[in-house]
Amino acid sequence: MNEPTVELERIESDLLREERSLQQHLTRLGAEASAVETRARAALALASSIAAEPAVLARLSGVTPPPLAEGAAALTRARKAREWAVRERLDAAQGLRELLSASHERLVAAAAQLRRDEDLVQQLQADARRRADQVARERAAAPAPLHRRASKRVPVRAAVDFSSDDNFFTGFSANLSEGGVFVATCGLLPVGTEVDLSFTLPTGAQVRTLGVVRWVRENDDKAPEVFPGIGVQFSQLDAQAAAEIHRFIAERDPMFYPD
């Protein structure tokens, strides 16, 4: 509760107590005035019957109650003002109740719609993930067309160390071209992952370079003889390493040739 509200309630409480006190005082004063007036009339009647002096009769005739009507009218105005304020507050409270009720209904409806939209978005996300996984599996399972080979590829068996930002893996090279290498490994990485590659050719030449995962072959229970792995494209092959790979490939029979 804020300070203005507390101050208003204090003032209202003080005014109510004061009005009650004034009403009681006015009631007592009116009763006393009525009693004085009654006594004055009785005394005047008695004085008249005994032929009292004119001055006494005049004084008794002049006894009148104090003007209390204005005080009663002031209290009446105060009561009417309080009644008006109460009606205004009741109307305001009723309006606030209606506003809160309508706002609550809108909030409940909005929350319900939000839950439905969240469920829909989650379902759409799950569907998109399933479709992406299906496309990835189909691409991994599909044999690469020969016309896409940009360079001669030769079989090679060499230990390959490769690492991403978070992990380090080891595999072996199943085939090699001047543009990249297939690494047979169970440590599969997502397409687009940048890796550091390190391997030694059968000639003894060491190759260290950067690469990017371009395709992934997942484990297939229907073809257990096909080892899973990743196809890595060289991205920063220095001239010496490129020459060693070119010399090695040139001296060996290819797995296939481009069209």
Q: Is pLDDT at 113 greater than 80 in this prediction? A: yes
Average pLDDT over residues 221-241: 85
Output the pLDDT for position 140. 65
Residues 6+ apart with CB under 8 A from 250: none
> Tokens for 172?
């072996």
Pick the more confident residue, 5 or 212: 212
Share of the chain above pLDDT 90, in %: 8
Band of pLDDT at residue 111, cut at 50, 70 and 90:
very high
For the segment 105-122, the average pLDDT, to the nearest whole number, is 90
Task: Report the alpha-carbon distance of residue 199 to residue 173 in Å, rounded.
Answer: 9
In this predicted model, which residue has the larger pLDDT, 137 or 95?
95
Paired tokens of 122 = 């989650």
Average pLDDT on 134-138 reads 75
Q: Which of the two residues, 72 and 241, has the higher pLDDT score?
A: 241
What are 73-107's pLDDT values in tens digits? Answer: 887 888 888 788 888 888 888 888 898 889 989 99
Contacts of 199 by beta carbon, 8 Å cutoff, 6+ apart? 158, 159, 160, 161, 173, 181, 206, 207
**Cα 125 from chain centroid?**
20
Q: What pLDDT does 149 receive?
A: 46
Which has more confidence, 22 or 51? 22
Q: Given this model, what pLDDT does residue 141 score?
A: 60
CA distance 64 to 33: 8
pLDDT at 14: 86
DSSP lists the bridge partners of residue 182 as: 175, 231
Q: How many CB atoms lie within 10 A of CB 144?
A: 10
Say how far apart CA 67 and CA 33 lie, in whole Å.
10
Phi-psi map region of 192: left, alpha, beta (phi>0 left; psi -120 to 50 alpha): left
